[in-house]
Structure 1
Amino acid sequence: MPSAAMIAAIGLGIVAPADGAPIRVRDRAIRMADVVRLPAESDWRRLAAVEIWRIPAGQGGVTLTRRAIAALIRRATPGIALADAGPGTIEFRAGVSARPVIRKCYVLIAAAVAGATIDRKAVTPGPCGGGKVDTAWDRAAGTLVAGRAFAAATSIGPVRPPAAPLVMRGDVMTLVSRAGAVTIERGVTALQPGRAGEKVFVRDNSGKVFAAPIAGVPQ
């Protein structure tokens, strides 16, 4: 990176588009290369990447006075010598991210009737459809259901369905408790759906309600 003496000797000036168009920056970061014309030598490349300001999240852009930009440059690179910044403002706009966003969607392997459960085994990665996705989340069952009849290969959008519940509400199960060499088994009833490894609320034969883990192999 150039020394402070080299920077001071150049006497850099702030550059702005002649037609007053906004400067578009990637990743919301305003860097030295966006506002100062730097020498082409390789020693200056690290200086070009120095970030002087960042457009706040939620804002599409920001307008800064040339004097404010000069102050930001001096703060980011102590010892730099700038030509008179002069009056006026420069607008900066957040550009397109350097990495395009790729949506990952899922399509039905087989046709599904209205109201059918759509679990992880019913879909496979595929192209995103352009139409409205008519699915709903069944909170009681903890599953995704079809809002209408679907043909095979229909896209359900970018949401990956969860695995099918291993236990459904109302299922009668055996609770196994171990303490050393002693094993106690008792019957319980599931009060909510759950998957392997999750805890669900259950009720035993005495009416006591408590949480218990579900054993099994995850789907």
Structure 2
Amino acid sequence: MPDRPHSREWYARLARELGGYRHPWTRELDGPDPERTFDELLQGRLGPEVRVLEAGCGHGPDAARFGSEAGRWVAYDRVPELLEQARINAPQAEFCLWDGKGTVPGALRGPFDLIVSRRGPTGVILRLPELAAPGARFLYVGPRLEVPQVPERLRGVGWDLLGEWRISVQAWAPTPEDWATRCAWMEEEARRGEWKQRATPRGLSYREERYVVLAGAS
């Protein structure tokens, strides 16, 4: 039986087969990468005094790319196989195995000036009062134009939305296999049949969507 998408076992298989947390389908974009807004907001808030906590770090691409620009970069993930790769990819960062539940491990107690989550767990929002330094910011990017639990949870812990961005870019899946893989990843199995209905010589068009949020304590 195939692993359930986004289960711990499924992420471990991605680590083994793809070398990390990566989209396992080919895609072509007709515009800028929709996560560029998140990248720019993140980079603009780094500095030698900034302590960063990353939730759901995967194989460590952000720690490798941005970690040297922060005073301290600490990250956690719930999948040991991904953390093994993250420690190799970003040796300057600190990594911890945690699923966001229960007692916060000592290495993650901070406090942190910037807490980030790239398509990672939104449960970290519930722990912001424990993790954040005075004046801290939370930065998130999600895989759809609406991720309702993000603003709801921020309100629940008394944090304010400082900015919201919804980005949508035309994308193409070039083969039926790519389209089927994307549907499974996004848990949109009902859309698989669209290939026969809408595919063109270029493939099947869809929208790559992202929801970006910047928040701060009230």
Interval of TM-score (by shorter of Structure 1 and Structure 2) = under 0.3
TM-score (norm 1): 0.17
TM-score (norm 2): 0.17
Instruction: Choose between structure 1 and 2 for higher RCO, CA contacts under 8 A separated by at least 6 residues.
Output: 2
